[in-house]
Structure 1
Amino acid sequence: MLITLATIYVINTVVALITVLREPRDISATWAWILVLTLIPVVGFIIYSFAGRKLSHRRLFAYQDQDTTAMRQHIADLMTQTESLNRDIDPHQNESVASVRQGRSLVTLFQNINQTALATKNHVKIFTAGQDLFEQMKADLRAAQESINIEFYTFYADELGSEILDILVDRAKAGVAVHVIYDALGSFGTTKKFFKPLEEAGGHAGPFLKRRLTLIDFQLNFRDHRKMVVIDGEVGYVGGFNIGDQYLGRDKKFGHWRDTHLRLTGSAVYFLQAHLILDWNASAPKNQIPVTEPCYFPKLKAENQGHSNLQIVTSGPESDDEQIKMGYIRLIQLAKERCWIQTPYLIPDDSTFDALRIAANSGVDVRIMVPCMPDHPFVYRATQYYASQLAKYGVKVYYYDNGFLHAKTVVVDNHLASVGSANFDFRSFKLNFEVNAFLYDSKLAQELSRDFENDLKSATEQTVVDFANQGRWLTFKQYIARLLAPIL
């Protein structure tokens, strides 16, 4: 009997090594999967089949092989017509100039690894309450005349989702070109039937990269975690909110939902639109959006122009550049006085962890705010582990007590900031399709700082002593979660 069990275990270990090592991946993720497959024979392989497989080459090629030359040239021409980004920043925008100067290396980084230009002449409004955000969004959707493109990780078939769908159906009947992309797992429970009225009205909806929740096709990884809206090519939204009642605080489990989202007008909307079109065309090859149609990329109107500078940055498993993670690291490196972060999941890789530790040890006021409650218990234990480790190096850690904190924001000094869909974790850095707006604007940075300070009134600092006084069982769970952090 013992010989049989030993033989099975040896075979399991050999197969585990072959399975994990045959595909290139981060070394920490490699060891984490070897641990799972060897310590949990058979069951580990079932888990791996859902969470460890790479994105198929077919889907990667569908995304990577799109020719973006015409669209990029069209955007460049439009921006040139409105004193765009290849020219000097308006010298009268003194505060914006100072922000761009401090972040010039960040601008260059994204130009090189994400091919995204610095978008000037933007007006940006920050939303932190779902009620305010969705009232404004619904008003903008109702006013659409030409096109609506929507992409959300979560589009629930609940009260809010139905309200927005009704608006989309109405606009589609009026001749507006409507396209909706959703993530099949993130929108679990929302079926194709829900979007049937939109299809019948002439609109279109479908899952990202045609990934439905079938047993053969099911994967936990490589989710479309982006949250974007573009209306008439003039109004854009990007941030952390999804479409669903819980984001309005209607879920008793989470209570008040604290998030951050941006409403944009100006040249940055061109870049949001470009990414939405790329995502749609990769997901619906038989129903392509024309990449240079005027209704999707109209000339920038004077009333839509502002004074804010920003870059729209995307990242995902189709590239090894980890663009948003690199942006986070560069932001932290640029901090001279303070770096304030809000994230629901704090599971940094070694490079991000070291950047935070170096900043704190260099005298930068590094503060990180995370939720006081989990939405994914095992992931939350990993968050607590890394929070306890960062506290040892002088990072101030806060638990947000007034509901659930879902915002993904970074504020550096009084000039730079980031708002988007990407968390501070392995999943957002390497596995998910994400989008962030990196802001070069002192007024916006200061507004986000005030929001952080206001949240501190409903938060509790967790000191080294607090973490040391945790129960042994909780500490044990945190250490176990940490071992599997690269694959959570």
Structure 2
Amino acid sequence: MRKILEFLFSRMVIVGILLLFQLTILTFAIWKLTEAFVYLYVFFFIISILVVIYILSRRDNPSYKLAWTIPVLLFPLFGGFFYLIFGGKKMNKKYKEKVKKVYDESKRVVSQDADIIDEIEKINKNVANQARYTSNFAMSPIYKNTQTEFLSPGEDFFERLVEELKKAKKYIFMEYFIVHEGKMWNTILHILEEKVKEGVDVRFIYDDMGCLTTLPYKYNETLIKKGIKCQVFNPFVPFLSLILNNRDHRKITVIDGHTAFTGGINLADEYINEIVRFGHWKDSSIMIKGDAVWNLTVMFLQAWSFNSKEDIDYNYYKNIYDERENVTSDGYVQPYADSPLDDEIVGENVYLNIINKASDYVYIETPYLIIDNELVTALTLASKNGVDVRIVTPHIEDKWYAHIVTRAYYAQLIEAGVKVYEYTPGFIHSKVVVADDEIATVGTINFDYRSLYLHFECGVWLYKTESINSIKKDFLDILDKSEQVSLYDCKHVCWYNRVLTAILRVFAPLM
């Protein structure tokens, strides 16, 4: 009974009720107004027609356009009005200006060393073009003088993270989507408290929506009292707003400017299999040391600046200690950021570049496979061209609707020769792509619309690093524990499941 009462009076339930109440009032008001005044019905109908024309004229992904056009045409009385409130990628002018100011200020501290691009071009021009794109359009230069270590599963990441946090002397920056009190977070928090006492500048950002059910309300004040500087990204308020879609899905730790981590792993016990939620949790991260850490440092400071409105002296946080002599240069490393506030879908384009330019194989791990036509075409065409394309998704889902839509893509991919597997021990949360023993990316970006279009994300693109061998080996180990999905499996499902799948796939971009 106590747990039921706690759930009923939780922040998530209260906020959900408030949002539902607002939506109901809004719908009821429009209905009653149009019932009383016929000309208002005509007015809203005309708005819906104009909205459909506007949607079709935008540069948005065609799947996203279709997902909005159908409900607007089906419900012309409400559809157009709701799109004006919730559709597109609208941001208020003040917020846009604030973000633009932060990015403009940080551009001068992330310049590309042209010699590195030229060096790569002599090896492989296609690869140099990929690196050049990300450097130019994501403010993310590519570096040498960096070593990498692939960490999987979450237990390995946790062990290395704790080890490196204890070495911090100047600053610790952490930015995470989900934080949940338990063994993992409590261990990290204890270290952060000790580091504050030693005079280390400890800063923490967490996403309010991501932590809605995992942290107490105003938990940032608890951390501030402990001496940890803390910002809540995009604080969640019970008011209908499009901005609720734009979450900080990044997972970043930066230590003293010379060591950094990113990947799929949040700070909660299921990520290290300390508790069991969906079977065995398979996840991954990458640790980097050296020059490339600077990109992740800048990403964090950008987020800190437009959350706190502080002016940042970026150069102050550059590699304070000269660690180069302790770093073995390991290929080429390019941490990159993706933001929903511009028209550049960097995360998807990184994936497309890897898939389209692969010659031997492409191996992919993702918890969700809810993709647009561009990715479907790239994957199927690569397979038809003779590239060995393999994808691993979870067998035990965390969200039933996402799992149904993920499976909706299997048949089309398998018919083109793509090999699809499900990780039978549980849930795979890794966001990893590796190709041709030369290129890989590890990060936070799922193969779904939210990650590709709506969230703040990041990743690390790798070329000719030793860690690529570890990534490939880990993938092949996963295949041994996974079950290959056949075309027979895809087609022999009950009729109502097929109907539900078809409906959910159409509206996937809005989920």
Shorter-chain TM band: 0.7 to 0.9
Over 3 Å counting, the alpha-carbon distance change for 1:336 and 1:409 in structure 2 is same
**Secondary structure of the residue that 1:293 maps to in structure 2?**
helix
Over 3 Å counting, the alpha-carbon distance change for 1:99 and 1:187 in structure 2 is farther
**Secondary structure of the residue that 2:145 maps to in structure 1?**
strand
Deviation at 1:402, TM superposition (A): 1.2
Contact 1:172 1:198 (8 Å CA) reproduced: no
Contact 2:332 2:465 (8 Å CA) reproduced: no
**Aligned counterpart in structure 2 of residue 103 of structure 1, from 113, 123, 127:** 127
Match of 2:304 in 1: 280
Over 3 Å counting, the alpha-carbon distance change for 1:192 and 1:298 in structure 2 is farther
Contact 1:51 1:221 (8 Å CA) reproduced: no
Letter aligned with residue 469 of structure 1: H
Match of 2:344 in 1: 321
Equivalent-residue separation in structure 1 for 2:361 and 2:42 (angstroms): 52
Over 3 Å counting, the alpha-carbon distance change for 1:225 and 1:294 in structure 2 is closer
Match of 1:406 in 2: 429
Equivalent-residue separation in structure 2 for 1:207 and 1:445 (angstroms): 34
**Aligned counterpart in structure 1 of residue 181 of structure 2, from 157, 181, 192:** 157
Match of 2:229 in 1: 204
Match of 1:302 in 2: 325
**Secondary structure of the residue that 2:314 maps to in structure 1?**
coil
Q: How does 1:254-265 map to 2 (within 5 A)?
A: 254-265=278-289
Equivalent-residue separation in structure 1 for 2:271 and 2:393 (angstroms): 17
Equivalent-residue separation in structure 2 for 1:171 and 1:68 (angstroms): 32
Paired-residue identity, %: 27
TM-score if structure 2 supplies the norm length?
Answer: 0.84
Match of 1:120 in 2: 144
| Offset from partner CA, 1:14-72 (integer Å, 9 cap, x none) | 44455666674434323312323454688877799567663333323222222555x55
Query: Number of aligned pairs?
Result: 472
Equivalent-residue separation in structure 2 for 1:309 and 1:234 (angstroms): 16
Q: CA RMSD in A?
A: 3.0
**Secondary structure of the residue that 1:254 maps to in structure 2?**
coil
Contact 2:179 2:211 (8 Å CA) reproduced: yes
Deviation at 1:294, TM superposition (A): 4.5
**Aligned counterpart in structure 2 of residue 346 of structure 1, from 369, 385, 399:** 369
| Offset from partner CA, 1:215-234 (integer Å, 9 cap, x none) | 35575411111111101111
Letter aligned with residue 255 of structure 1: G
Q: How does 1:4-403 map to 2 (within 5 A)?
A: 13-17=45-49, 24=58, 25-39=60-74, 54-66=90-102, 68=104, 71=106, 73-74=108-109, 85-87=113-115, 103-189=127-213, 190-191=215-216, 193-208=218-233, 210-215=234-239, 219-285=243-309, 287-294=310-317, 298-403=321-426
Structure 1 spans left out of the alignment, 5+ residues = 80-84
Over 3 Å counting, the alpha-carbon distance change for 1:12 and 1:392 in structure 2 is farther
Over 3 Å counting, the alpha-carbon distance change for 1:42 and 1:445 in structure 2 is farther
Over 3 Å counting, the alpha-carbon distance change for 1:386 and 1:12 in structure 2 is farther
**Secondary structure of the residue that 1:435 maps to in structure 2?**
strand
Deviation at 1:427, TM superposition (A): 1.5
Letter aligned with residue 101 of structure 2: D
Deviation at 1:142, TM superposition (A): 2.1
**Secondary structure of the residue that 1:66 maps to in structure 2?**
helix
Over 3 Å counting, the alpha-carbon distance change for 1:132 and 1:471 in structure 2 is same
Match of 1:82 in 2: none
Equivalent-residue separation in structure 2 for 1:174 and 1:289 (angstroms): 23
**Secondary structure of the residue that 1:29 maps to in structure 2?**
helix
Deviates more, 1:9-18 or 1:225-234: 9-18
Contact 2:294 2:318 (8 Å CA) reproduced: no
Over 3 Å counting, the alpha-carbon distance change for 1:374 and 1:9 in structure 2 is farther
Deviates more, 1:296-305 or 1:437-446: 296-305
Deviation at 1:212, TM superposition (A): 2.7
Over 3 Å counting, the alpha-carbon distance change for 1:9 and 1:26 in structure 2 is farther
TM-score if structure 1 supplies the norm length?
Answer: 0.88
Letter aligned with residue 352 of structure 1: L
Structure 2 spans left out of the alignment, 5+ residues = 1-33
Deviation at 1:333, TM superposition (A): 1.2
Letter aligned with residue 115 of structure 2: R
Letter aligned with residue 125 of structure 1: E
